[in-house]
Structure formats: structure tokens, C-alpha cells
Amino acid sequence: MIVEHHDNEVDTLSLQLLNKARHLAEPLGARVLALVLGSGIDTVVDRVSEMGADSAMVADYPELSPYNPEIYCRLLTEMIRASDPALVLLGHTFLGMEVAPAVSTRLGIRLASNCTDIELSDDGLPVVARPVYGGTKHVKIMGDLPLMISVQKGALSGEAHLSQKASLVPFRTNIDVGSKWDQRCLLGQMCLAGQSPFLNADHKWKVSHYLHVLCSTVNGTSHDR
């Protein structure tokens, strides 16, 4: 699962996702891997290592501050591809809404967004609950593996605690600040993600908004953020 943090504090939703990942992994005999990205994140890594993951893959680079969506997308894609997970969990937050469509497209896996719960079927396949009709109803959808799932803030509860610390795996790669060509690639991937059957009209509007912002950046024109 992908860990979010702010000012050296792990986001509450990330701790809840670690708890959910642990509950999903135990019946299958699977392991939980936390992906932690940022600059100067020793405190965050220490906290995450005590909260339910079997191991933590850590990318600590000065280029990751301030936040750059293209660098995060590229690095997350590399980290997920290297670990080859069956499920990728992250929060349906500003970061999750921005990077998940592009990363899932680059990896060629489905994205179930804005979910409120995750269960396992009798066959061990993920079943997600997500709102429809403006949140007045919820539907359950079974997904094939591998699958990326983003979860609403406030939908989960609980934090996992383990007596044994997670093992740390430094992730080594080459990072640059990207180029306008990289941004155009991201535009195309977000266009493809906009066709996902898991996205509702509101999410597609957000993708359209991000496309407008990135197009303006690439073309060197001004825009409102």
C-alpha cells in the first residue's frame, strides 16, 4: 500500500489502510508491503515500520520535495512493478486522485476508485464497495487481480500494531525533474484513465481539470489552479 504523510506525520488513512491490508493478507498467507516516498522521511519510515507492514520499500530523495506529480507517478510505477503486488491500496485523497489513474494505466491494471470497503470473496478475489447516485446507494464490485484500489477518507477504522518491526528495503533509481514530453505522456495516460468504468462523472471531471492544468503548463500558458 502507498503511504501518505505530511510534516513527518503519517496520514490517518494510511494507518487504516495498513490495518485493512493486514486483515486481507492474513487469510491468504500474503505479505504487506508499504511504499514510502519523500525527502528526509526517517521519522515517517520508523512510524510505518511499527504499524502492520511486513516490509517497507523506501524512496528517500531530495527531488521528491516539493511534490511533483510526474516524478511521483514515475517512481510509484517503478516501485509497484518491482514488487509485483496482487493488490495496491491507497487513499482517495488529492494525491491518490492525481497519481492513481496514471500509475494504473502505466502498469496496465484496473483501478477501483473512491471505495468505502474491501472484502475477499470465497475465491480470494477482492470485492470493493463504492458509492453511486451521489452516495445515496452503494454497490459491490468484484475485481480481477492485480487491482489498484483507492479508499475514501473516513471509511475505515482501526490501526494495526505488530511487535516485530518491518524490514526496510531502500529503493534505488535515477530521478530527474521530467520534461514537457513527460508531461504530455502523463496527459495521454490520464485521457485513457478517464475511460475507466470505475470512474463516475465527478471523477472524470477531475481528470478533465487536471488535463487542463497540465496542458496549460506544457504549452506555457497561464491558468487558474
pLDDT digits (tens, 9 = 90+) for 123-162: 999 999 999 888 888 899 998 999 999 999 988 877 666 5
In the chain, alpha helices (H): 12-25, 42-48, 69-83, 94-107, 180-193, 201-219
* Domain assignment present for 194: no
* Domain assignment present for 191: no
Q: What whole-number distance in Å separates Cα of residue 143 and Cα of residue 126?
A: 6
Report, as an integer, the average pLDDT of 82-105: 95
pLDDT value, residue 207: 54
For residue 222, CA distances in Å to 68, 129, 218 come to: 18, 39, 10
Which pLDDT band holds residue 184 (cuts at 50, 70, 90)? very low
With a cut of 70, say whether residue 36 has pLDDT above it.
Answer: yes
83 or 198, which is more confident?
A: 83
Helix axes of 94-107 and 69-83: crossing angle, nearest 10 degrees: 50
* Domain assignment present for 129: yes
173 or 193, which is more confident?
A: 173
pLDDT value, residue 34: 96
How many domains is the chain partitioned into structurally? 1
* Domain assignment present for 81: yes
* Domain assignment present for 192: no
Tell me whether strands 33-38 and 55-60 are parallel, antiparallel or unpaired: parallel
- Closest to 158 (Cα-Cα) out of 30, 51, 48, 57: 51
Parent domain of 36: 2-177
- Closest to 46 (Cα-Cα) out of 172, 168, 169: 168
* Domain assignment present for 188: no
3-state secondary structure 116-133: CEEEECCCCCEEEEEEEH
Coil, strand or helix: which one is 195?
Answer: coil
Q: What one-letter code names the amino acid at 33? A: L
Q: The pTM is what?
A: 0.77
Coil, strand or helix: which one is 66?
Answer: coil
Q: What whole-number distance in Å separates Cα of residue 153 and Cα of residue 38?
A: 21
Q: What one-letter code names the amino acid at 31? A: R
pLDDT value, residue 160: 63
With a cut of 70, say whether residue 14 has pLDDT above it.
Answer: yes
Residue 29: give its domain's CATH number. 3.40.50.620
Q: What whole-number distance in Å separates Cα of residue 206 and Cα of residue 36?
A: 25
pLDDT more than 90, % of the chain:
57
With a cut of 90, say whether residue 197 has pLDDT above it.
Answer: no
46 or 175, which is more confident?
A: 46
The widest CA-to-CA distance across the chain, in whole angstroms, is 53
pLDDT value, residue 51: 86
pLDDT value, residue 39: 94
Q: What is the mean pLDDT of the chain?
A: 82
* Domain assignment present for 35: yes
Per mean pLDDT, which range of 24-33, 115-124, 129-138 is the poorest? 129-138
Q: What whole-number distance in Å separates Cα of residue 171 and Cα of residue 61?
A: 10
221 or 53, which is more confident?
A: 53
pLDDT value, residue 180: 43
pLDDT value, residue 159: 67
Q: What whole-number distance in Å separates Cα of residue 127 and Cα of residue 98?
A: 23
Which residues does 207 contact at the CB level (< 8 Å), separation at least 6? 101, 190, 191, 193, 194, 199
pLDDT value, residue 203: 52
Which pLDDT band holds residue 4 (cuts at 50, 70, 90)? very high
